[in-house]
Each structure stands twice: as structure tokens, then as C-alpha cells.
Amino acid sequence: MISFERVTKRYPDGTVAVNELSFTAPDGAITVLVGPSGCGKTTSLRMVNRLIEPTEGRIAIDGTDVRARPAAELRRSIGYVIQHAGLFPHRTIVDNITTVPRLLGTDRRTARNRAHELMELVGLDPALAKRYPYQLSGGQQQRVGVARALAADPPVLLMDEPFSAVDPIVRKGLQEEFLRIQGEVAKTILFVTHDIDEAIKLGDKIAVLREGGVLAQFASPDRLLAEPADDFVEQFLGRDRGIRRLTFYPSAGLSLQEGPVVAADTPAPSARDAALSAGTPWLLIVDADRRPLGWANPAALPDQGPIGNARLIGYGHAFVPGSDSLRAALDAAVLSPTGWAVGTDGNGQVLGVISQESIGSAIRAAHAQSSTERERADEKAAAADASPDSGTAAEADEPSAADSAGSEAPPSDEAPLEQAR
């Protein structure tokens, strides 16, 4: 747990980089500091490992003031990852990774064994161990940076725009790997980015900062998208926050229709008659393995031959109920020329289809559920606030509230997040 308590950084020329910043980054979770340039997010991060000293206020890790021990000792207990990796060019990859353990006095062999484990964890080929940083791509260097930060197994990790300097495709891969690694190591992470999409994708909690280092909002990504605190946050989130919020709703609850799904070898006339009498606007034609081929308009079906011979309309992409979010389902429906989305299982076999309208009502239902959840969580928090040890209690209570709610009723803020990932 990293707590900022009314932390202010004022420079001698009067510039205020961080202004009375207070928040608590919970244990084992990723807390993202996000905001435009000049909002003091990097300054805030560097105050945790005392690369910068605050002017006022206090930063504590698990309740202990960071100023309680010498800076160098403190830093060895905190992992640090920066934008351009900052690897030591004169050391091999394995020696880069063993930096902190060696500073702590771990013997070379133990440190190297640990380095090889870490290379595996971050997805680096062990054959790279003896290479020098210049021989690696940007993405690989960044992985080494993460391995180096994890080498001494610090409970806390600080990451300053670690994925900003690589191209978008590599970045996406690194982000997903990062979430996988965090799933294994469960560190308390403070993560700085200027990219709100990255913040929403990675953060369990998000602190939005505005210019002058003022905290605009501190909330879970779902809540941030649902209830931006003010115009600044709303603008920063962008005009598609409604759509993006759907990422946090699972598509498992959607009820798919099987009626419009027809095998390609069905005779066209009988399929047409059935569809017209049932009032089915579109038929999804599937092959013998139940893989989707395309849509057919019942009214335009030929008078003879199998339905597979008819002219088919493309279906765009399918979504997988359960593992995909409502956003993926809606996207599939919006993309499909017929307005219907195709749901498949993990193997690409059709489970059924659903219309934009049905997805729309599912979204409304999800919104309603989520706001009830939030109200319940607020009541809990308010009750916890009344108790003397307010801040920590509220944080600790939230996951348990989510768990109990999940069993009887809709999943809470946090649960769909895990699923959508």
C-alpha cells in the first residue's frame, strides 16, 4: 500500500508541480496516474523512491514514511521501470537484470539463476542473456527493464510510461504480457501514463491529475467512465467513454437466438417458408462444422437448391460470449450489415445470433445493475469513513463487497474487469 498524504512539491521558482495530493494505492493492484503533460504525474512517482523530495506532506509505504531510511536503501526495495528502459549499455542482459540483487550483496550465481527465471517470466529467450542491450529491439529492452525491476522481488513497482516509446502493436503485446505477469507476481504498482486508454486497460484504480498537480478524480476505470467528476475528466476521457465502458461488462448474459441459424445444405424453399412464417428477418448460414458463412435474406432466396447456393452477405466478425465484453458484442452487431451479431464458442462454432436492439437492452440492464452496485459500495464506504481508520478500511472493504454481491446478484465494478481482460 502506497499512501500519499497531502503531498506538495513546490520548486524554488514558485512552480507548483504537485498540489496537496492524497490517495492510497492498494496492495497487489495497479494504480495508474494519468493526466496531460505538466500535471506532475512523474514528479509524484519519483517522490515515492525519493528521486525528488516533496516540499510538504508525507508518502508512506505500508504505513512507513519513505524518509525513514536512507534513499539508496529505500530504492533497492522498490522496482523502477522507465520509458526508454534505461538499461546499462556496458552490461550484458543478465548483468543488467542482476543489478539490484548484486547491490544488495546476493552472490553472483544465485542472482544469475534468478535472472534466468525472470527472463522466462517476462518472455525473453534465455539465449539473449549474454547479449548487450544494443542487440535487442525496443520491446525486448523494455522486457529486460521489467525483469530488472523485479529482480530483487520488491513489493512495490514504479513504472514511468514504460510502454510509450514502442510502436502500437508491440505496446499492445507488452500491455497484455504485463497484465499476465502482474497476475503472477501481484505487486503493488504505481504506473504513470499520459494515455487514458492505457490507464483504463491496465488500471485497477486510476488517479486523474490536472495541470498544477491537482487530483481531479480517483476511481476504478468503470466508475471513472460512468461518473467523471468534472468537465476536465470528462474531456480527458473523450467522446467514446460510453462505448469504452462496455469493456467492463461481460457478454455472458446475452441471450442468443438459435432459430435464424441454418445449415448450408438445407433446401432453400423450406428455409424461406419457415423464416417468413416465423418472421425471421435474416438467416445465418453455417457450414457442416457450424462455422458461419454469411447472412441470407429469406425473401430473396431462390426457389430451388440448397440455401448455401444463395448470395450471402458478410458477417464482419463474431464474438465469444463469456470471454468477450459487451463492447465486442456491440461492435460485431454494428459492423454486421444486417445489424445482427454472431456469437461463437472458442472454436469458432456458431452458438447463436443477437440483434443490436437486444444488445442495447442488455447494456441498459448492465448499467442499472452497475449503478445499484455503486450505491451499495458508496454506503459501505460511508460507513467505513465513519470509523476512525477511514482511508484504509474503505479500500480493504471494497473487494469483499464485490465478492458477496457477485454470488447472489450482478458482478460488481471489479469482477467484469477481470473477465474482460
Partner 1 sequence: MIAASVFDLPSYVQHSYLGLLGEQLEVSLGATLGGLLVSLPIGQACARWRLLYPPVLGLVTVAYSIPSLALFVFLIDYTGITDTTLFIALALYSLCILVPGVVDGIRTVPPEVKLAADAMGYGPARRYFQVELPIAAPTIMAAVRVATVSSISLMSIGAVIGNLGGFGQLFTTGLRSFNLSLVWLGLFSLVVLALLCDVLLRLAQRLMTPWADRRSARA
Quote the least distance from Cβ 236 to partner 1, whole Å: 27
Spatial separation of the C-alpha atoms in residues 147 and 119, rounded to whole Å? 6
Nearer to partner 1, 75 or 374 (CB): 75
Residues paired with residue 217 on neighbouring β-strands, in sequence order: 208
Nearer to partner 1, 51 or 313 (CB): 51
Closest by CA position to 42, among listed 184, 159, 197, 203? 159
CB 42 within 8 A of CB 213: no
Report helix, strand or coil for 271: helix
Report helix, strand or coil for 350: strand
Nearer to partner 1, 130 or 364 (CB): 130
Pairing of strands 188-193, 30-34: parallel
List residues binding partner 1 (CB under 8 A).
Answer: 49, 51, 72-76, 78, 80, 82-91, 99-100, 103, 132-135, 148, 158
Residues paired with residue 135 on neighbouring β-strands, in sequence order: none
Q: Within 13 Å of residue 2, how many CA atoms lie on the same side as its CB?
A: 27
Spatial separation of the C-alpha atoms in residues 179 and 419, rounded to whole Å? 12
Quote the least distance from Cβ 134 to partner 1, whole Å: 5
Quote the least distance from Cβ 156 to partner 1, whole Å: 12
> 316-320: which pairs have CB atoms within 8 A and are 24 or more residues apart?
318/292, 318/342, 318/343, 318/344, 318/348, 318/350, 319/251, 319/343, 319/344, 320/251, 320/344, 320/345, 320/346
Quote the least distance from Cβ 162 to partner 1, whole Å: 12
Nearer to partner 1, 75 or 244 (CB): 75
Quote the least distance from Cβ 193 to partner 1, whole Å: 17
CB 33 within 8 A of CB 216: no
The helix (H) or strand (E) run that includes residue 340 is: strand 340-344
Nearer to partner 1, 103 or 383 (CB): 103
Task: Provide the residue type at 187 as one letter.
Answer: K
Nearer to partner 1, 58 or 84 (CB): 84
Quote the least distance from Cβ 71 to partner 1, whole Å: 8
Nearer to partner 1, 72 or 386 (CB): 72
Looking up cell 476511481 gives 219
Nearer to partner 1, 113 or 135 (CB): 135
Quote the least distance from Cβ 212 to partner 1, whole Å: 24
Put residue 10 in one of left, alpha, beta given phi > 0 → left and psi -120 to 50 → alpha.
beta
Spatial separation of the C-alpha atoms in residues 76 and 279, rounded to whole Å? 69
Quote the least distance from Cβ 51 to partner 1, whole Å: 6
Using CA atoms, how far residue 12 sits from 7, 17, 290, 331, 420, in Å, is 16, 11, 70, 52, 46
Please state the separation of Cα 189 from the chain's center in Å.
13
Nearer to partner 1, 136 or 420 (CB): 136
Nearer to partner 1, 74 or 170 (CB): 74
Quote the least distance from Cβ 67 to partner 1, whole Å: 15
Quote the least distance from Cβ 179 to partner 1, whole Å: 23
Residues for the chain: how many in total? Answer: 421
